[in-house]
Each structure stands twice: as C-alpha cells, then as structure tokens.
Structure 1
Amino acid sequence: MKTEALKKRLDKNRPMTSITIRIPEDVVEDLKRVAPLLGFSGYQPLIRAYIGQGLRADLERLEGDTVSALIASLKRRGVSDDVIQDALSEVAQN
C-alpha cells in the first residue's frame, strides 16, 4: 500500500458514513461480549476492525495477483529477471 493511502487509513478523523446491516442477534451479543476483552470500546469499533482486516487482506491478495500477472507478462515479452527484480526493489522503496 502506498504511503499516502496508509496515512489516510490511519487518520482517526477521516469521514465516516452510516450504514444499516442486518446481523443475527446472537452474533451481535457475541460481539458485545468479545469487544471489551479485545480492548474495543464497543461492538461497532470491533465490527469496523473485522471489516478492515478482511478488506486489507483481500486488497493485498488482489494487488498481489495483479503484480504476479504483470511479472508473467513481462517475462513472456523477454524482460529479464534481473530487470524485473530491480524494478520491484525500486517500487518497494517508495
């Protein structure tokens, strides 16, 4: 994830929007019970944390798939492994 995008994700004052979601009552009760044990002030911050974790994992996986496909395409076009590795190292430093 780029540095600027990460900074925005860590901003506690970023804009929020309200949504309505139907969740089984027993799941909400479990969330309410678990939230303070995990250090959350309530079940809604815990839900946001769970959503954020899942979203970040999916984004990383999907972006990784894209990078893998790009690398394979470059190799098919004759770009050497050294050039690809140099480019990946350069991107990782930014």
Structure 2
Amino acid sequence: MKFETLKQRLERNRPMTSVTIRMPEDVVEDLKKVAPLLGFSGYQPLIRAYVGQCLRVDLERFESETVTALVASLKRRGVSDETIEAALNEVVHASH
C-alpha cells in the first residue's frame, strides 16, 4: 500500500458513512462479547477492524497480482529481467 494511502487510513477523523447490514443475531451477540476482550469500545468498531483487515489483505493481493501480470507482459515484449528488476527496485525504494 502506498505511504500516502496508509497515512490517510490511519487518520482518526476520517469521513464516515452509515451502512446497514443484516447479520444473524447470534453473530452480533458474539461480537458484543468479544469486542471488549479485544479492547474495542463496542461491536461496531470491531466490525470495522475486521472489514479493514480483510480489505487490506485483498487490496495487497490484487496489487501484487497486477504487478505480476505487468512483469509477465513486459517479459513477453522482450524486456530483460535485469531491466524489470532495476525498475521494480527503483519503484520500491522511491516509495519509502
């Protein structure tokens, strides 16, 4: 994830929107029990944390798949492994 995107996601006062989701009652009750044990003020912050964690995993996976597809495409077009590696290193070091 890019540094600026990560920085924005860590801001405490990010804009929020209401979402309605239907969930089984027993799941909500379990969330209410587990939330304080994990240090959350309620079950809704816990749900946000769960969604955020899984979303970051999926975003990282898709970004990785895109980079892999790009590298494969460059190789098919005759770009050398050395050039691809140098470009990837340049991008990785520039983002830190």
Instruction: Report the TM range for the smaller structure's normalisation.
Output: over 0.9
Structure 2: runs of 5+ lacking an equivalent: none
Which amino acid letter does the alignment assign opposite residue 8 of structure 1?
Q
Which residue is equivalent to 1:11?
Answer: 11
Other-structure match for 1:83: 83
- Partner amino acid for 1:45? P
| Secondary structure in 2 matching 1:64 | helix
Higher RCO (C-alpha under 8 Å, 6+ residues apart): 2
Q: Which residue of 2 aligns with 1:54?
A: 54
1:14-93 pair list within 5 angstroms:
14-93=14-93
Q: CA RMSD in A?
A: 0.7
Shift of 1:82: 1.0
Q: Which amino acid aligns with 1:12?
A: R
Alpha-carbon deviations, 1:65-92, whole Å to 9, x = none? 1110000000111111111111111111
- TM-score, normalised with respect to structure 1: 0.96
Distance 2:92 2:29 in 1: 42
After TM superposition, give the deviation of residue 36 of structure 1 in Å: 0.8
C-alpha separation in 1, matches of 2:23 and 2:58: 22
In the comparison of the two structures, how many residue pairs are matched? 94
